[in-house]
Chains A and B, each alone.
Chain A
Amino acid sequence: MARERYIKLLLMACASLSFLAILLIFIFILRESMPALTKVGFGNLFTSTDWNPDKGSFGILAFLNGTILTTLGGLIIGAPLGVGTAIFLDQVAPKKMATVIRRGIELLAGIPSVVIGWFGLIILVPFIARITNSSGYGIAAASVVLAVMVLPTITALSVETLRSLPIELKEASLAMGATRWQSIRTVLLPAAREGILVAVILGMGRAIGETMAVQMVIGNSRQFTLSLFKPTATLTSRLVTDMGEAPPGVFRSSLFAMALVLLIFAMLLIFSVRMITRKRKA
């Protein structure tokens, strides 16, 4: 019996590791970003677009802008595509075909992000360069790459939601004489709204955090830009580009401040997902 107790404690320790880990990550990232937050100042860090570590300017607004624009771009392309594919898989496709396509999309989720980045670099960037007469690097290229990466998340979770709806909903609607599209639009999609919203939010999480694929196609310049076809950077891409060369000090610390922003984004997403699912349960 004593042995049973030890085993239970050991298992509990394993379980508590996940919470300890996130706590530790938060504490360490916060600690490492303190020098930047105090010396550069909160305001300077987040409102300045001037990133020039050699000259002592550490404004990350340009990269915050890059993260927000590429994420939005990725979702604008990826979310309709994902939800549309999910509707196809759950409502329209013949059963065999649905299975094959679902497997394919699961495979897409498994393709490493460097491989997708490499694909973007050798195919997408030259293509955009040719049609827009620019360098090809920039928010447009990154958005397309991110759309590819959020697609599997959004599709899989949307299919799950649609599938969890009671079959009676659709049958009742069809029995009233509604067409398939009318049933989907007026009955199924409203019923699945929260689930699809969660799917998009989790897709957004993937887009915000994606690093290598974006880094390879966005051009990594320091400039703030709203143009789709000018090289810029995101928080993640700047972080990974500069970390190798940043000496300990304010420079490195400001990179950790970027990580802190990413961490806070991730937490906000978690909380919004929890709010949505809690409301649904109640």
Chain B
Amino acid sequence: MAEKVIMLGNEAFARGAYEAGCKVSSAYPGTPSTEISEYIVQYDEIYSEWAPNEKVALEVAIGASISGVRALSSMKHVGLNVASDPLFTVAYAGVTGGLVIIVADDPGLYSSQNEQDTRAVARAAKVPVLEPSDSHEAKEFVKFAFELSEKYDTPVIVRSTTRLSHSQGMVELNDRIEVEDKPYVRDFAKNVMMPSNAKGRHLVVESRDLALIKDGGSFPINKVEYNDKKIGIITSGIPYQYVKEALPEASVLKLGIVNPLPKSLIEEFASKVETLYIVEELDPIIEEQVKSWGIEAIGKDILTIQGEYSANLLRRAINGEKVVVAPAVQLPNRPPILCPGCPHRSVYSVLNKLKIHGAGDIGCYTLGAVAPLSVLDTTICMGASISSLHGMEKAKGKDFVKNWVAIIGDSTFMHTGINSLINMVYNKATGTVMILDNSTTGMTGHQDHSATGKTLKGEETYCVDMAALCKAVGVNHVYVVNAFDTKELEKVVKEATAMDEIAVIIAQAPCVLLDKTSIKTQYYVDISVCKKCGMCLKPGCPAITKQESGDIVINDTMCNGCGLCMTLCKFNSIKPVQTQ
């Protein structure tokens, strides 16, 4: 019997790539897809890397596929936007070695800036999409995706969601299939997408789509379960589990392939059930197509387009059951915050004091938008801090941005920020860019990147010198400052923003969670000298609280010893704890 183990969805995806004989994997971290690469790195048979962004990652995988091996790229939903340029055209060129792209959507927005549906992007790109519903299927569907990719000469997307990627479930392990490398053969008409060739390939794409619509119904990844035929449900992915939990008696068509849809399979199922429901999280992708074929179905009329589903949601909407609801107590909510000891807090305390507006970006430092720091005014997408600040200057003039800075992290700067900085220099901007360099990709759980000096495999490599890079693209004023040196930061920010020239400030200090052994000293409040002025509370460190008595206390289970509170205290009442 095959060995059974418990695996996180993302670990199972990685295992699937391993078992499928995949040889190259390239990705950029993004919740909820990050751990796929972190598990792939454990397999020596697969070359795996972090790329600076998802476009680069997908192109690396495309190159590997063209050369004749099975290749993988994984990303979060918004990462696919960055990679959509290669995606839409590799859909035309097709593959040599199998090419699979795992894309993780985030219904419920646990860690994302939007709630877009990858199936809609895939439809536009005419790329097939498979959707597993648990860890075991995550592994199996990746293997099937590689087969499909080679059989139909197409990249294949395997769609995940946060709930699948971050749930653990049982997985039956198999051995790796050793797939022989295909020889590289120059194929001008297929791999050179110039207009004359692309015209021909477009026809290939259309006939491939038709073939998949026809053949898809017999793929073993679809499941038809006939029970009581009063209610029939078409579903896929994680929502299938909610359907089985809430409506165990219903007939179910569980689609394994969700683009293109297996039309005849759906028509047959629909003809055999009395009332047809379509249960899909996010957009009505299946529903709109099914309805366009003249089939009556109930979907988003009663089910939400937003957030995650659950069994209770279906019990209420389909069965009309009254399910226990939350008591009406108003509790203070607990939003995510910067960690105690986070260097970003130090930078933001300075910017807040100087009343600077921040054009923000994607990372932990996005949390600088909320009270009490309240520095950031904008956050759109990776790299947008720098380019949007530039847009403001060009719209409103250079004086408008004198009390603004663009704020971006080191990993995000290397992802797409650098392009925006080149644009600022090229188009004679005068704004100030701050790179908050914490030596890691923090939000996703500490991944290396091109400016950390380590590869995904943990090997030493060249570390991009961001200061030299900024100078090389034409920034004459580049300041490198310790993120905890608030005096120096204040001076430099004032100087840079006042200038009529572009400036970059790199505020450096490693993420406090990166190496906890570096924490030497914690701090305490000496209440005999504390004036209770509240200065130390201003940056909103969760380790410092004001008691009901008015006393200020530092929580020793939380303090990470950054010392920011000590530098803010004018009465020397915050002191290092003397260790024995």
| Chains A and B are bound partners | no
Which B residues fall within an 8 A CB radius of A? none
